[in-house]
Amino acid sequence: MDCSQSYDHRDRLSALPDSLILTILSLLETRYIVWTALLSKRWRDLWTTVPGLKFVEEDRNFICGVVSKFRGAKIVSFYFELLYELPLASDVDSWLLFAVEKQVEELHIYLGSHPDTPYCLPQFFYSCSSITKLLLINCSLQIEGSVQLNQLESLSIHLRDSSCDAAMNKLLLGAPRLEEMILLIDEINQNFSIRSTSLKNLIIDSHRPFSTEIRAVLRICAPNLLTLRIRAALVNGGSCLWDVPSLTEACLRYFSDADDYGIPGDFPPLEAFYQIFRSICHVKKLTLPELHIELLLDMKKKDMVVQFANAEFLRHECVSTHDLLDLLDLLDLLEMFPKLKTLIFNQYQIFQDFNPDVETPFPRPSVLHLKTVEILWPAEDPSIIPFIEFLLQDAPLLHKLVFRLIKYRDNRKPFLMVEEKVRSMPRSSPTVEVIIIDG
């Protein structure tokens, strides 16, 4: 076969319809889109109607030039990320006005932080009824008029502190279709509330407040919220008040104590955490770090028992090495989850010495509903063996037991010993699959 006949010299990209080419171009950074003007006469002005503009660390003159030459009737997405060469506020205002006039749907503003003068969003922005997805990083909320973000469905926002509580709630009130929100807040330095009847998914990530005098309250009032993921610090008497009756899934990463940050202060009273757990005790899926589980166990000892009557999934995450759980504690924990079906338990270090000649008197909490158990455990700590034996004997519906053993040294003897013991244990569930992984 002639090589010249087997190779297609046509410009297949140019053969595509303009609408498809513009969709492809909108996935690229705008600097590359503009370069296509050099390809041919057909491509010379094609970039001026692309439905998505994306500027990453671009010169202000370049952005202003692109905006001035744009000829499209609408922009689906407008994205600019400027972390180092911060533009003038007037420039950003003009770019936002351009996007609003072009009925932008997805708007992404990511500006580098400045210690004194964060960019303040112009008032006309709060009346952009076309926006469905919004990301604001290092922007200041100062709302004087009304908010009419009637189509907004997803919001990601970064705040320096909680001083803009009133503006934040004004924003939420003016977004009646908002369902998803990611809130990054550097410090909760005064009372802060989130109120929304439309929110279904909420993520909050907050760093430790720097002042040891803070008594801030984090309040969430979201009657239709389904999932809540939160990582925040509770210190010096700060507390949380949550009204989330529809919540089905909660993930609490940690409420760390002051020592982790080298800040003197008092740990919040146990009652503060009791209120938190009471407000989410109806969830079906729960992820907790070891600190929270320790708190639940402390509450139980003081007759402040919280029953998670609907919970079917529990994940324990070990994020430090100073709060390791005892296996008896784990069994105490199971009593608080009477309908648990899936248990994922991770512990990375040996928590105690173990004498294999002494039997451990395990209590018998209800594990009738357990179907899946995943355990991450040090291979050199055989104290897990009685617990595994307990699960295999007392969980009649157990379907899968995944036992991942961690090796700290190249020594397979502990792993083989545990594997042999586990595989020879009697089982109450005839269908249970035991998977032992040398991790």
378 forms bridges with which residues in the sheet?
406
Q: Which two tokens stand for residue 224?
A: 């239709």
Give the pLDDT mean for 281-302: 89
| Closest among 259, 262, 332 to 295, alpha carbons compared | 332
Q: In terms of pLDDT, which residue wins out, 351 or 157?
A: 157
Do the beta carbons of residue 152 and residue 134 sit within 8 Å?
yes
d(CA 114, CA 83): 10
What is the CA angle 34-40-44, rounded to 5?
Answer: 40
234 pLDDT tier (thresholds 50, 70, 90): low
Mean pLDDT of 310-316: 94
What's the distance, CA 428 to chain centroid? Answer: 38
* Range from 181-195, 283-297, 345-359, 385-399 carrying the lowest mean pLDDT: 345-359
Most distant CA pair in the chain, distance: 87
Give dist(CA 78, CA 344) in Å, integer.
Answer: 41
Domain boundaries, the chain: 11-152
Closest CA to 327 of 264, 384, 271, 378: 384
Q: How far apart are the first and last CA of the chain?
A: 54
Q: CA 263: distance to chain centroid? A: 26
Q: Phi then psi for 125, rounded to 5 degrees?
A: -60, -35
HEC string of the chain equals CCHHHHCCCCCCCCCCCHHHHHHHHCCCCHHHHHHHHHCCCCCCCHHHHCCEEEEECCCHHHHHHHHHHCCCCCCCEEEEEECCCCCCHHHHHHHHHHHHHCCCCEEEEEECCCCCCCEECCHHHHHCCCCCEEEEECEECCCCCCCCCCCCCEEEEEEEECCCHHHHHHHHHCCCCCCEEEEEEEECCCCEEEECCCCCEEEEEECCCCCCCCCCEEEEECCCCCEEEEECCCCCCCEEEEECCCCCEEEECCCCCHHHHCCCCCCCCHHHHHHHHHHCCCCCEEEEEHHHHHHHHHHHHCCCCCCCCCCCEEEEECCCCCCCCCHHHHHHHHCCCCCCCEEEEECCCCCCCCCCCCCCCCCCCCCCCCCEEEEEEECCCHHHHHHHHHHHHHCCCCCEEEEEEECCCCCCHHHHHHHHHHHCCCCCCCCCEEEEEEC
CA atoms within 13 A on the CB side of 92: 25
Convert the pLDDT of each residue in 119-137 to its tens digit. 889 999 999 999 999 999 9
Pairing of strands 372-378, 342-346: parallel
| Amino acid (1-letter code) at residue 234 | L
Question: Which range has highest mean pLDDT (25-29, 187-191, 237-241, 407-411)?
Answer: 187-191
pLDDT at 439 over 70: no
More confident residue, 330 or 16: 330
Q: Check if the beta carbon of residue 427 is closer than 8 Å to that of residue 393.
A: yes
What average pLDDT is seen over the chain? Answer: 80
Q: How confident is the model at residue 233 (pLDDT cuts 50, 70, 90)?
A: low
- Who contacts 114 (Cβ-Cβ below 8 Å, separation ≥6)? 86, 138
